[in-house]
Amino acid sequence: MQLYFLCTGNSSRSQFAETYARYYAPADWSIKSAGTIPHGVHPKTIEVLNQEGFDTSRLTSDAIDDFLNSADYVVTLCGDARDHCPITPDSVQKVHFLLTDPAGVTGSDEEITAFFKETAAEIKQLMQTFITDIQKNA
């Protein structure tokens, strides 16, 4: 199984999705993320994932590549990624989760951190359900 997660910057939402999907999915699944306009991994994304005990040393913010065309599922996590996702072969199943970008949130450091944690928790739950559903339907 191959999963590909897309958002605009590949800085937060898709990074969370990739990390949690890797955690919940079988080890032999290929899982990647990318952005329509990659910005680099957001420091708060790294902070939140590190607090949960994930190794973030290999996270990279990448542009869309050919993995898109061989994926079983392409999952867009924002309207921009959904609207600008390249055309894929008919064999690729597209799934969309509309999530607010935590990188765009303003406020105090505590408020921003809280929003990143809320987003991470939401994506974690989505990935747990998504992976379970794929396995049930396989």
Catalytic residue list: 7, 78, 85
Helices (H), 1-138: 13-24, 43-51, 67-70, 79-84, 109-137
Collapse the DSSP code of 41 into the 3-class scheme (helix H, G, I; strand E, B; otherwise coil) and give the result.
coil
End-to-end CA distance of the chain: 10
